[in-house]
Amino acid sequence: MTQAPVVKNGKVISINYVLRNSGGEQIDQSEKNEPFTYLHGASQIVKGLEQGISDLKVGDKKKVVVSPKDGYGEVNPKLKLTLKRDAFPDDVKLEAGMQFEADSSNDGNPMVFTITDVKGDDITIDGNHPLAGETLHFEIEVVGVRDATADEKQHGHAHGAGGHNH
């Protein structure tokens, strides 16, 4: 009897998933005919989900509940700021809901801020991830496990259908 492949670090995993918040509202899901594909153990997905999928086999279905700590973090009030209009480019019309990138001081990754309010010269922004503070309720199904290529291991992400495109 052949064993179904097991989810382990360094494998490329394909999953179908539905993500809901604690209120049962659907936030996200994988594409209908294209499972989400990622490199396991490379922090491509939130920690709690990665841990929940570890050691599953192809065909396994599971509900994985991820606390904010192991998901997108708690809401950080310090990332909610009000700036003056002149901190932004002149030629852009600023509206609530707009997102833009800013350099972050600590890890070198650009941070995504969302404008949450525009009142005259005062622009309120929020640098928290839109899902910060949310407990994430995933329903997942493992549909593929394969070895990562050398390129994928080097890049730290999966290539091909459902994965990174370049």
Stretch of residues binding Zn ion (CB under 5 A), selected from 16-24, 52-60, 75-83, 157-165: 157-165
Q: 148: which 2 tokens?
A: 């990562």
Sign of the C-alpha dihedral computed for residues 76, 82, 88 and 92 taken in this order: positive
Supply angle C-alpha 12, 13, 18, rounded to 5: 150
- Comparing CB distances to Zn ion, the nearer of 38 and 113 is 38
Specify the stretch interacting with Zn ion by CB under 5 A; choose among 9-17, 100-108, 131-139, 149-157: 149-157
The answer to whether 153 contacts Zn ion (rule: CB under 5 A) is no
Least distance (Å) between residue 159 CB and Zn ion:
6
Q: Is 155 in the site for Zn ion (CB under 5 A)?
A: yes
Q: Which residue carries 């997905």 as its tokens?
A: 45
Cα gap 28→109, rounded to integer Å:
24
CB-based closest residue to Zn ion: 155
Cα within 13 Å of Cα(149), Cβ side: 9
Query: Nearest distance from residue 129's CB to Zn ion, in Å?
Result: 23
Residue with tokens 């370049």: 166
Q: Which stretch binds Zn ion (CB under 5 A): 16-24, 28-36, 62-70, 150-158?
A: 150-158
Shortest Å distance, C-beta 164 to Zn ion: 5
Only one residue has tokens 């199904």, namely 141
- Contact positions toward Zn ion, by CB under 5 A? 155, 164
